[in-house]
Chain A
Amino acid sequence: MPIEKFVTLESSCVPLPIENIDTDQIIPARFLKATTREGFGDNLFCDWRYDKKGKPRKDFVLNDPTYSGKILVAGENFGSGSSREHAAWALTGYGFKVIVSSFFADIFKSNALNNGLLPVQVTPGFLEELFNAIKDDSAIKVKVDLKNQIISVPSLSISEKFDINNYKKTCLLNGYDDIDYLLNMKEKIIAWEEKA
């Protein structure tokens, strides 16, 4: 599907300083029975977010009105486990545009990028600075500039450069999608098949 263009985002953040957040936590398997991409945001982090009776747990950050925003800042090794793209759909469905962590699992990263959700990998030191900054001021704004590949906290004058595959960056900046690219290569693929 064509993805939404991403250029620059400035937003407050939601902190989730837990390591190894796996895709079963992001969206538990029992919610994977849908056949469309919509509606997963309601069940994002379901078992952390709601108690057994479906009541919001006060101690979970998504239920804490102090924090809001389009950037999720998470602990190391985010998105490990299952290949379910439903995890990316749940995060975008909830309204996140950027996930910041010091490390991402592979499949999650490509799933996120395929849905216009930007994974920003920062150093462990910068991640800690971010968590502290959010703790000190829950409304603090973080800026993500994809074109220059820079994440910064303007009010604190701290910033860091992040990596992204050049091709993926072009896709995001322009809202292109891989499938269009490959469909345009059809002749070449057929020629390759005939030769193989």
Chain B
Amino acid sequence: MAGKTLFEKIWDKHVISNIDQGPSVLYIDRHLIHEVTSPQAFGGLKERGIKVRRPDKTVATPDHNIPTMDQHLPIHDELSRFQVNKLKENCNKHNIEMYGLTHPYNGIVHVIGPELGITQPGMTMVCGDSHTSTHGAFGSIAFGIGTSEVEMVLATQCLMQSKPKTMRINIEGELKKGVSSKDIILYIISQISTGGATGYFVEFAGSAIRALSMEARMTICNMSIEMGARGGMIAPDETTFEYVKGREFAPKNEEWEKALEEWKKLPSDSDAQFDKELTYKAEEIEPMITYGTNPGMGIGISNSIPKTEEIEKTSQKSFKKSLDYMGFNPGDPILGKNVDYVFVGSCTNGRIEDLRAFTQFVKGKKKADNITAWIVPGSKQVEKQAIEEGIKDTLEAAGFELRQPGCSACLAMNDDKIPEGNYAVSTTNRNFEGRQGPGARTMLASPLTAAAAAITGKISDPRDFL
């Protein structure tokens, strides 16, 4: 019998039963909830007259809809305030732990799970948010669900799921200077397209992945959804254990030793079979940036936007629509394009390492006059650390300001919206039309590339400054 993949080991351990020609009933170890996708699920419980089955396995944080300034004041937007209060009300009613605004553990749901040690190898985790895939960086099965499924997990701690196919993507070799994990994932998506991994759960492997920090691994798994994957994951190793150890909810003492022993058995067996396998060379990746309105429309920063004839015939109409929205012409070089906004933050690149990378770059330089920059930490803890490390001061000296944590301009549900027609270099994960505000033009990139744009006021190659 062939060996098992990381995915199969965790999946098999969590299946309670299999429905004939149907999905499996999967047990869920941790359920994260936030204010936007949970109210209708709680409403459903109320209609059925049932309670949350395992509040002890559920954690809540408001993040999507909150302001990133003056968080100690009541939220001025009435609907947002109502939604955040609703979460609090529901959590109180059902005894669910919630880290509300100004709580030292508040933050973006996918940032706080790992930093609190809630996320651990070998777990099944879900959240009513597609970027739950982030947690897969720890070697867990983590994926986003819809609100009916949130209700399902609240009611039963289980989920009906069809088993996805498995894919392994290997990145071999060493990354070049100025190239980060954000560039790896943007590169992969540009190669296989936004639907390229639909139906699959993806394991990222190879020497370049092994060499990455946990933060960098999270950035990659975070965006696996942007190639259509159900989720992404990376086998746990010493880097993982080192990160988890000692965190608030991580196992302690004897429990830790026991857990460690189990976690070490998780990596895919050497003879495990994947339904699909792809390999790329790390050396071939350069700083990436997107020019269009889906995350697959990315190019190396020294390249030009494709010409129409290079695009498949059936996609040419969508390509044109996309470039019209962006105000770009086919064949244009991307370097030197004007930029109005720089946004650093989100569950993709709002962790301390991302803030460090950005800050190191801008240290001793000045923000370009034409740039409005929003630097938003992913959590209260990231914010605190940024202040302690002097990041906030360095940023301020260079003309930037550090805001308070939240999803912010990543999806523009709060006041942080990029104005219509303006160009934003953003460290987030989606460049869809209107994602960062109606008419906003988003270009996805790494914190370094964002820093280069913030200093020069236009799209610039960060390698020129290193």
User: A residues near B, CB below 8 A?
Assistant: 1, 17-20, 22, 24-25, 28-30, 32-37, 47, 52, 75-77, 80-86, 88, 103-107, 110-111, 114-115, 124, 165-168, 170, 178-179, 181-183, 185-186, 188-189, 192-193, 196
Contact = CB atoms under 8 A, between A and B. Distances in A.
Nearest to B155: A179
26 contacts: A18-B318, A22-B430, A24-B411, A28-B434, A28-B438, A29-B413, A33-B79, A35-B39, A47-B433, A75-B318, A106-B199, A107-B130, A110-B145, A111-B146, A114-B146, A165-B23, A178-B152, A179-B151, A179-B152, A182-B158, A182-B160, A189-B16, A189-B27, A189-B157, A189-B158, A193-B27
Given A32-B413, A114-B149, A179-B151, A186 B156 contact: yes
Nearest to A78: B195
Given A1-B44, A83-B37, A183-B48, 12 more contacts: A19-B317, A20-B294, A24-B411, A34-B39, A35-B86, A36-B43, A52-B420, A84-B37, A104-B198, A106-B230, A166-B22, A189-B157
Contact of B144 (A20, A88, A104, A107): A107
Interface residues of B, number: 65
B36 A165 contact: no
A193 B435 CA distance: 41
Interface string B426-450: 0000101111001000000000000
Contacts of A192: 16, 27
A115 B195 contact: no
Interface in B281-301: 294
Given A24-B430, A25-B432, A29-B412, A35 B162 contact: no
A168 B20 CA distance: 11
Contacts of A193: 27, 157
Nearest to A80: B194
Contacts of A22: 294, 430, 432
A188 B25 CA distance: 11
B25 A24 contact: no
A195 to B, nearest CB: 10
B439 to A, nearest CB: 8
Contacts of A83: 37, 128-130, 144-146
Interface string B1-33: 000000000000000110111110101000000
A24 B16 contact: no
B274 interface: no
B147 interface: yes
A85 B156 contact: no
B247 interface: no
A37 to B, nearest CB: 5
B50 A178 contact: no
B80 interface: yes
A36 B40 contact: yes
Contacts of A179: 44, 48, 148, 151-152, 155-156
B152 A182 contact: yes
